[in-house]
């Protein structure tokens, strides 16, 4: 009696859902990085940078965060990826809507630090999505 090797069980990992999450994260990161740049142009004397770029992009960013939330939920539920992106993404939607509100109210004591936290979080998530650990399912990641 010979023992034949058993075929390895197919491990389900996030693939398509991870690619969609990466696309939304990179798009989100590009938009949030554009925000302090546009604000800098405004502070250096280009008045149109605030109305043409900063406020327009700011009104769009929270919607991109909503799309990211959908992509993160698919990554977590369908792709069986990590849970934390599906938890952090809706928090970003709320934070960016609050950011938008305080920006229009010109409350810079909240607007600037919250914007810094948003930029850092989104960029960190975008970088993480290209790391090897993002490709692992929940069981493999433990």
Angstrom distance (rounded) from CA 50 to CA 77:
39
Phi and psi dihedrals of 84, rounded to 5? -60, -35
The answer to the question of residue 6 being in a domain is no
- Check residues 44 and 64 and name the one with the higher pLDDT: 64
Residue span of the structural domain in which 87 resides: 15-135
Query: What tens digit of pLDDT does each residue of 95-120 get?
Result: 999 999 999 999 999 999 999 999 99
Q: pTM to 2 decimals?
A: 0.87
Task: Quote the pLDDT of residue 72.
Answer: 97
Query: In the block, which residue shows the tokens 């929270």?
Result: 62
High-pLDDT (> 70) share of the chain, %: 90
The answer to the question of residue 67 being in a domain is yes
Q: Report the alpha-carbon angle 107-25-103, nearest 5.
A: 10
The answer to the question of residue 129 being in a domain is yes
The answer to the question of residue 7 being in a domain is no
The answer to the question of residue 104 being in a domain is yes
Structural domains counted in the chain: 1
The answer to the question of residue 3 being in a domain is no
Is 55:103 a contact under the CB 8 Å cutoff?
Answer: yes
């Amino acid at each position: 009696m010979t023992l034949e090797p058993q075929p390895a069980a197919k491990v389900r990992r996030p693939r398509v859902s991870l690619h969609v999450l990466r696309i939304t994260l990179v798009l989100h990161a590009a938009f949030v990085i554009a925000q302090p740049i546009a604000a800098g142009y405004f502070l250096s004397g280009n008045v149109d940078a605030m109305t043409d770029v900063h406020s327009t992009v700011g009104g769009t960013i929270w919607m991109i965060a909503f799309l990211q939330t959908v992509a993160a939920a698919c990554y977590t539920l369908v792709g069986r990826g990590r849970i934390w992106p599906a938890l952090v993404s809706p928090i970003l939607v709320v934070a960016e809507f609050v950011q938008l509100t305080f920006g229009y109210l010109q409350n810079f004591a909240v607007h600037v630090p919250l914007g810094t936290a948003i930029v850092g979080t989104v960029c960190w998530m975008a970088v993480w999505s290209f790391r090897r650990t993002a490709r692992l399912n929940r069981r493999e990641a433990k």
